[in-house]
Amino acid sequence: MKPGIHPAYGPVVFRDSAGGTAFLTRSTMTSHKTIEWEDGHTYPVVDVEISSASHPFYTGTARVMDTAGRVERFERRYGARR
């Protein structure tokens, strides 16, 4: 890699505002807000609206749409096209 053209890559805390969880990882994102982590060090914190801790797909609360039932209900209501 060429020196001097890549952004700084370091530890960052991502805080999920929907789920109330936070996790420490490495990223190129930065923030002026900081948080003291469990290990006693201070890291920049980035607030995110949704993460794998609160997303319905990952938490198992996702709803599956029944498309066949919707089509049948539409045909009953408005009649099948012929």
- Whole-number Å distance between alpha carbons of 39 and 21: 16
Mean pLDDT of the chain: 81
Q: pLDDT tens digits, residue range 28-50?
A: 998 999 999 999 999 999 988 77
Residue 29 CB-half CA count within 13 A: 17
Q: Using a cut of 0.75, tell me whether the model's pTM lies above it.
A: no
Q: Give me the phi and psi of 39, to 5 degrees please.
A: -85, 0
Residue 12: pLDDT over 70: yes
C-alpha 8/C-alpha 12 separation (Å) is 11
**51 alpha-carbon distance from chain centroid:** 3
Question: How many other C-beta atoms can be found within 10 angstroms of the C-beta atom of residue 65?
Answer: 7
